[in-house]
Amino acid sequence: MSIMKGRIARQKVSAKTQTNIKFGLAGVLMKGKVKGLLIAGCLIGELMGNALPALAQSADDSAPQPNLVKPGAAPSSGRVGPLAPMADRLAQDGITFHAISLDFFLVNPSSGLAPGHTQNSLYNILGVDVDLSKRAGLHGSSLHYETTLFAFNKNLSYLSQVGDSLLGYEATFNKEAGVISVATFEQKAFNDRLDIEVGRTHPNRYYGIPLCQSLDSCFQDIFYYNAGFTSPQYSVWGGNVSYQTTKSLYAEAGVFSTDSNAHLIGYDITREDITGAVGMAEVGYKTDFTTEAYPARFSLTAFVNTSPHPDYNFAAALNPSSTVNRNGTSGAVIQAQKVVWRADGGATRNPSPTSIAIYGSFGQAFDSTSQIQSDLYVGATLQSPFVGRPADRFGVKFNWERLNPNYVNYLNEANFVSGGTGNLSIGNEYVFEANAHIQLPGGLAFEPVVQYAINPNSFYNPSTASRPRSGVFVVGTLVIPVGTLLGLQPNSP
């Protein structure tokens, strides 16, 4: 089970910031990142080439012409930008493009094993969806592809400098230039109530959807450490089946491969090291402001991970060669969110009212040999606090994590063997957080996160003589809606 993970929002993130950007299935089995990029480029060229004759045919007196559209005037599709006319025509043919860039900047001013370091990584996420009902007459079928290109990667040693399983997990670890994020075939049926998706995907796109609306700091440790999730942009083989029993109730189940080599494969999926599989199942309930004045979400998720994992304990620290691998781990996560206050009292129909939502997530391991035993976070979010700024939100969160007692013994003894005191006072960690999502001009957004950690651990650097320090950890995420700015996708309502 991999513990080295890169970061985007650990999620599907909230609807305002999460983008599933897809580029077609071509090139999935090609070796090497250069071939993967070339195939994606060829696909785009072919799609655009197919669309050009149709664009020319539509150039009559009634069709909107790029040179005649008044500045700032939006087409009926909601797309505005230099590529909007082309994107509108392609959308009519069932081809929709997406693009977004996310820049993560992190600093640990006073926390972790070696305070005072920074890290940065830029995620460029590009892709396309193809509606096969329009392209090939296959009702309810579609193809999805998504690729993530990494840039401005700074300080790949940041994990060992922070060390901690909570704070450190927010760091990025992207060694390759790019990666396949999604390459799936999707089939819907029964008025879209049944949804089946198979191919290269990620369980975080379906299960335990984060509730705290912060791209980088909202994740459930039980999923990523115990269930064996990779970072969401690093796809694995998998399939998922979901069924919407009512407008609010759903159930789903899926199976996904676990890969201990995820951050090293780039576009060459033959380099994967598949160690097992994780089976997921979830039941849930969800509403929103379009259907309910005070919407709520609830989910119960269970998993079984068949991959072997090392049983780190006191003896393993003294003699690493004696470390025993255990087969399989399991656990469950329960999550809930509820809007508890609205400034208008719920008397008006408003998709983004000024409101307060409270939320919580609790995960528990069902075995005693996985590193994380329990993880709990609770918080509150003030949504749309200012008139005319529906996307703004401000929140607070508290996170508690408990390590497996055997793993605490391992970290203490590893510290002692390395020349430390051997008494790290770890096991229960507490993180207090303030976060925000602030809309900027041009459709950009900024997400600052400030945390204070008490009793952090040395999870990512166990063989250290240093003692992890309680202190401040800061994350800043810049959201750049590239697809919206270019006119490839509609403006958010």
Q: One-letter amino acid identity for 86? A: M
Query: Quick one: fold of 33-486?
Result: Porin (2.40.160)
What does the pLDDT read at residue 109?
97
**What pLDDT does 76 receive?**
62
- Per-residue model confidence (pLDDT) at position 30: 35
- Give whole-number Cα distances, 270 to 32, 370, 471, in Å: 10, 28, 42
Residue 434: its pLDDT value, please?
97
Note the pLDDT of residue 493. Answer: 57
Residue ranges per structural domain of the chain: 33-486
Question: How far is the C-alpha of 28 from the C-alpha of 41, rounded, in Å?
Answer: 13
What is the reported pLDDT for 215? Answer: 85
Per-residue pLDDT of the chain (493 residues; tens, 9 = 90+): 333 334 343 333 333 333 333 333 333 333 334 344 444 444 444 443 443 333 333 333 333 333 333 344 444 678 999 999 999 999 999 999 999 999 999 999 999 999 999 999 999 999 999 999 999 999 999 999 999 999 999 998 999 999 999 999 898 889 899 999 999 999 999 999 999 999 999 999 999 999 987 888 999 999 999 999 988 899 999 999 999 999 999 999 999 999 888 888 889 988 999 999 999 999 999 999 999 999 999 999 999 999 998 889 888 888 888 888 888 999 999 999 999 999 999 999 999 999 999 999 999 999 889 999 999 999 999 999 999 999 999 999 999 999 999 999 999 999 999 999 998 888 999 999 999 999 999 899 999 999 999 999 999 999 999 999 999 999 999 999 999 999 999 986 5
In terms of Cα–Cα distance, which of 270, 198, 257, 265 is closest to 229?
257
For the chain, first and last CA: distance in Å? 41
- Pair 153, 199: CB distance under 8 Å: no
Long-range contacts from 38-46, C-beta under 8 angstroms, 24+ separation: 40/126, 40/145, 40/147, 43/128, 43/145, 44/97, 44/128
